[in-house]
Amino acid sequence: MGKDVKQTLIVKSKVREYVKSLGDFNVSGDFLETLNVQVAKLLKHAAKRTAANSRKTVAARDI
């Protein structure tokens, strides 16, 4: 999986709002795209771990 994630998994406006609350920062479009890819990778990893442990519920321990 790379930059070919076809679904937006993050709420861009919320990310921008949160980053703004950390200081006088702006968020570039490529940051949001890369963040989305990283979230997709994290979810894929967690799902694989869940399956490997014969479970159907992804939990915090799978991250």
Kindly write down the DSSP assignment for every residue of 26-42, as one continuous string: ---HHHHHHHHHHHHHH
With a CB cutoff of 8 Å and minimum separation 6, the contacts of 3 are 33, 34, 37
Q: What is the pTM of this model?
A: 0.86
CB 36 within 8 A of CB 10: yes
Residues 27-63: tens digit of each pLDDT? 999 999 999 999 999 999 999 999 999 999 999 999 9
Predicted local distance difference test score (pLDDT) of residue 60: 97
Distance CA 31, CA 20 (A): 14
| pLDDT at 24 > cutoff 60 | yes
Q: What is the reported pLDDT for 3? A: 60
DSSP for residue 2: -
**Looking at residue 58, what is its pLDDT?**
98
All structural domains of the chain with their residue ranges: 27-63
